[in-house]
Amino acid sequence: SCENNLLTVESLSVTIRNSRKKLIHNLNFSIPQGEIFGLVGESGSGKSLTATVILGMLSKSLEVTSGSVTLGQSEITSLSERELRNIRGRDIAYLSQNYQSFFTPFIKVGQQFIEIIRCHTDMSRKEAKKVAIHWLNKVHLPAERVFNSFPDELSGGQLQRASIASAIMFRPKLIIADEPTTALDVLTGERILDLLSELKEELNCSILLISHDLKHIIKRTQTVGVMYGGQIVEIGKTSAVVANPIHPYTNLLLQSRLRLNKHIQHELPTMLGEPGLIAEEGCPFTKRCPSAMESCSNKVPMNSLGKHHSAACHLVNAEREERYVTR
Ligand code: SF4
Ligand code: MG
């Protein structure tokens, strides 16, 4: 793995304990220092579960059966609960879609900031307030007013900004943003993503941006991994994947995007079946794929289509041949 990768996920598999049911299967990706990596796929594809493993918060009913997650010098999957607690909230910030429940109701936002800060440092209340105001300003909120507000006095966008401020106060190396805009209107969501890009520069951190919506991923990320059925089925430089998508599932996600943009959502392709229909053997997309062939029910390896682009699909070879013939 590369020297300047902040996060490296290698051959990671997660199963339900005491069963052979794999929820994540042989996941490989890395995030360079200072880059935004997008993980995209339908809900249930394993994106949030991947975040859970990186945070060292896997439920006791699940088990890592192979692989490793490395953040800087730390091998997350081998740390004690105490060591993990030090990393969470400090080295890794986690932003969820449930920012509405991030703050406790009936306690002023500023009060909650001060408690979080004093829990991690030995600052006085006065010093803690200064830190809180600093970061509320950084996320472009009217800091004093928000500090003195109750959570229910803030809009959705303001609450999300405040939760971001509180998550990044200790200058994390990695921000995991799990569907950070799902509950917001489009414009507010775009501004939150602008803010994340800006904070990335400010903190010189990396971001794992998880989304079911490829349109966010395209504009904001350097690299993208497309997940289906617990596997990454296509991965590469975002520009390469978007210009030349190989996996039919990636194509489906891109088509959905274009059609949504043209407000003809009802014409979404239906031939591709139900989301979440996952084949147990071979390519997980077999049951929905219009190009499925006999060999797809056997193991389909990740094939490289150039230095910065690979896909786990037999069509990679067809694509290569086509290129060879036409040039
Ligand atoms: Fe379709 Fe086969 Fe490619 Fe899977 S491996 S996406 S079933 S063509
Ligand atoms: Mg999720």
Residue 292 beta carbon below 6 angstroms from any ligand 1 atom: yes
Residue 24 banded pLDDT, cuts 50, 70, 90: very high
Please say if the pLDDT value at position 204 is more than 90: yes
Is the reported ipTM for this assembly greater than 0.95?
Answer: yes
Residue 246 beta carbon below 6 angstroms from any ligand 1 atom: no
Nearest CA to ligand 1 atom 4: 283
Q: Which residue has the tokens 């003809």?
A: 264
| Beta carbons within 10 angstroms of residue 135's beta carbon | 21
Residue 248 beta carbon below 6 angstroms from any ligand 1 atom: yes
Tell me the CB-side half-sphere exposure of residue 103, using CA atoms within 13 A.
Answer: 30
| Across 184-206, average pLDDT | 93
Please give the angle made by the CA atoms of 191, 197 and 223, to the nearest 5 degrees. Answer: 120
pLDDT, residue 88, reads: 87
- What ligand 1 atom has the least distance to the C-alpha of 284? 4
**Which ligand gives the minimal distance to the CA of 285?**
1
pLDDT, residue 281, reads: 82
The environment of the single-atom ion ligand 2, i.e. residues with CB closer than 5 A, is 48
Structural element, H or E, at residue 66: strand 62-71
Residue 290 banded pLDDT, cuts 50, 70, 90: confident
- Rounded to whole angstroms, how far apart are CA atoms 154 and 168? 20
DSSP characters over 175-188: EEEESTTTTS-HHH
- Rounded to whole angstroms, how far apart are CA atoms 65 and 114? 40
Domain residue limits, the chain: 5-91+172-326, 102-170
pLDDT, residue 1, reads: 44
Q: What is the pTM of this model?
A: 0.91
293 vs 37: which has the higher pLDDT: 37
- Percent helix, strand, coil in the chain, to 5, is 40, 25, 35
pLDDT, residue 258, reads: 54
Cα 327 to ligand 1 centroid, rounded to whole Å: 25
Residue 286 beta carbon below 6 angstroms from any ligand 1 atom: yes
Domain 5-91+172-326 matching CATH 3.40.50.300: the answer reads yes
Residue 326, both tokens: 């036409």
Q: Out of 31-40, 86-95, 147-156, which region has the weakest mean confidence (pLDDT)?
A: 86-95
The backbone region for 306, taken as left when phi is positive above 0, alpha when psi lies in -120 to 50, beta otherwise, is: left
Please say if the pLDDT value at position 266 is more than 80: no
pLDDT, tens digit, 9 for 90 and up, residues 310-323: 999 988 877 777 66
The backbone region for 8, taken as left when phi is positive above 0, alpha when psi lies in -120 to 50, beta otherwise, is: beta
pLDDT, tens digit, 9 for 90 and up, residues 81-119: 999 988 887 899 999 888 778 899 999 999 999 999 998
Q: Phi and psi dihedrals of 111, rounded to 5? A: -55, -40
pLDDT, tens digit, 9 for 90 and up, residues 267-276: 344 334 555 5
Q: Out of 54-68, 117-131, 134-148, 262-276, which region has the weakest mean confidence (pLDDT)?
A: 262-276
Mean pLDDT, all residues of the chain: 88
Cα 69 to ligand 2 centroid, rounded to whole Å: 19
Which strand ranges, in their side-by-side order, compose the sheet holding 36-40?
Answer: 92-95, 174-178, 206-211, 36-40, 223-228, 231-237, 309-311, 303-304
pLDDT, residue 274, reads: 56
- Rounded to whole angstroms, how far apart are CA atoms 160 and 196? 11
